[in-house]
Amino acid sequence: MSAAFDLYTKLKHSSSDEERAEVIAQAFDALEARFPQLNDLATQGHVREAELRLQKEIKGVELQIKEVDARLQKEIKEVDARLQERISQLEVSLHQALAAQTRWLIGGLAILGVVLKLADVLIGP
């Protein structure tokens, strides 16, 4: 016999409102005993509310990611600009050092030429 039919039969054979109320209370107790987790079930409203809350949180995280990405892109550009400037400074320094070495080499060769001419004159024919 189903629980609904059993409840119907008991209510039909009850003679007073007090007996009917007791039968209904017992039926609710039996229902709660059989399904104690009913209070824990999520309704569609609860699920939709949680879904909307999660979507809002996801949008917030996405916004934070975009902000961090923009900040990092800016920092990368700044570092790149400083690096390019430093490379340019090093290139200038390198060219200056090469020019100085070239002058020393040419000066040294000129002095060697003078020394050789003097030796040629001194040793002479």
Greatest mean pLDDT among 3-7, 40-44, 53-57, 116-120 lies in 53-57
pLDDT tens sequence across 90-112: 999 999 999 999 999 999 999 99
* Amino acid at site 76: I
Alpha-carbon distance 103 to 94, whole Å? 14
- 108 near 116, Cβ under 8 Å? no
Q: What pLDDT, on a 0 to 100 scale, did the predictor assign at position 17?
A: 87
Please identify which residue in the block is written with the tokens 């600009």: 81
Question: Alpha helices, DSSP H only, in the chain?
Answer: 3-13, 17-34, 44-123
Distances (CA, A) of 22 to 7, 8, 43, 62, 76: 11, 13, 29, 57, 76
Separation CA 22–CA 16 (nearest Å): 10
Task: Say if CB 7 and CB 27 are below 8 A apart.
Answer: yes
Q: Contact, 35 vs 22, CB < 8 A?
A: no
Strands (E), the chain: none
Q: Is there a contact between 76 and 70 (Cβ–Cβ < 8 Å)?
A: no
**pLDDT tens, 14-56?**
888 898 889 888 988 887 777 767 666 778 888 899 999 999 9
Of 83 and 5, the structure prediction assigns the larger pLDDT to 83
Tokens of residue 92, six digits: 């200038």
